């Protein structure tokens, strides 16, 4: 299955293009991994989540990337990510991997209960000359989190 690049013709940023295409694809092709309900996109300003299940109300954060399988993914701001994933209403994580030709390879579901503080790794803060000096991102270490592949479907 392919991502739809017709959705992003006016965008120049590769990360914006990927975000829009992958969020649209998940909303169109993936059911809630917990209850098979419909995943509804949240507003672009929703913190820490991209979808909510219309049936069970579980929230989901989508991370996507192009290329080979990875055990670590770039996350957002460290403290915000930590706070989000350790909160009562933490989102589950969906990781979508696609290729240069926009073919979707896989979507893996990670349950929020399996994501712990030691899976969220701080990155070095940006230096004093950076536009966002002091800002600290994070990496999500997926290597020891049990994930369930939900696409392609396993029979």
DSSP state of 124: P
Residue 150 has pLDDT above 90, yes or no: no
Residue 154 has pLDDT above 60, yes or no: no
What tokens does 83 get? Answer: 């706070």
Residue 45 has pLDDT above 80, yes or no: no
Q: Which of 63, 84, 82, 60 is nearest to 72 (CA)?
A: 63
Residues of the chain above pLDDT 90, percent: 87
Position 153 confidence tier, pLDDT thresholds 50, 70, 90: low
pLDDT computed for residue 48 by the predictor:
87
pLDDT per residue as tens digits for the range 61-86? 999 999 999 999 999 999 999 999 98
> For the chain, what is the mean pLDDT?
93
**How many residues comprise the chain?**
155
Paired with 6 in beta bridges are none
Position 1 confidence tier, pLDDT thresholds 50, 70, 90: confident
Mean pLDDT of the 104-113 span: 96
pLDDT computed for residue 50 by the predictor:
96
What tokens does 95 get? Answer: 């990781």
Residue 108 has pLDDT above 90, yes or no: yes
Question: Going from the N-terminus, what domains does the chain have, and what CATH number goes with each?
Answer: 5-146 (3.40.210.30)
The better pLDDT of the pair 44, 128 is held by 128
Question: Among all chains, which residue has been given the structure tokens 């893996």?
Answer: 108
Q: Contact at 8 Å (CB) between 24 and 7?
A: yes
């Amino acid at each position: 299955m392919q991502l739809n690049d017709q959705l992003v013709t006016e965008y120049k940023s590769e990360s914006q293009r990927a975000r829009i295409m992958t969020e649209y694809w998940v909303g169109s092709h993936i059911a809630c991994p917990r209850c098979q309900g419909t995943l509804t996109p949240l507003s672009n300003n929703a913190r820490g989540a991209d979808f909510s299940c219309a049936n069970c109300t579980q929230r989901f954060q989508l991370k996507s990337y192009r290329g080979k399988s990875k055990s670590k993914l770039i996350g957002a701001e460290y403290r915000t990510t930590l706070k989000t994933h350790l909160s009562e209403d933490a989102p589950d994580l969906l990781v979508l991997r696609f290729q240069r030709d926009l073919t979707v390879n896989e979507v893996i579901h990670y349950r929020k209960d399996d994501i712990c503080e030691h899976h969220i790794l701080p990155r070095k803060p940006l230096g004093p000359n950076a536009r966002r000096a002091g800002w600290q991102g994070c990496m999500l270490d997926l290597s020891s989190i049990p994930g369930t592949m939900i696409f392609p479907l396993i029979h």
